Amino acid sequence: MRYSHQILQAVMLHPNMRQVIPLAPEPIINADGNEKNDCERNAGKRLVGKIRATHPKLKIMVTGVLR
């Protein structure tokens, strides 16, 4: 039996600095039981909404990594 968590993690970074500051992670979950799977896109929408609510003056750029 295998069990794992899926998390979408946002970070704050600057191209000229080595520090990376993690922000609150957003879990990728089955919100309505087993009927419909959540995905990174939906978790990303929730995460951006939460970041905007908690840091309204923070200028952000959303990027992604394709695999």
pLDDT tens digits, one per residue of 17-54: 999 999 889 988 876 555 667 788 888 888 989 999 99
For residue 67, is it within any domain? no
User: Would you say residue 60 lies in a domain?
Assistant: no
Distances (CA, A) of 33 to 10, 36, 42: 26, 7, 16
The tokens for 25 are 């992670």
In a domain, 2, yes or no: no
Domain assignment present for residue 21? The answer is: yes
Q: How far apart are CA 24 and CA 38, in angstroms?
A: 18
**Bridge partners, residue 27, by sequence:** 7
* Domain with 42 in it: 7-54
pTM, two decimal places: 0.69
Confidence of residue 65 (pLDDT cuts 50, 70, 90): low
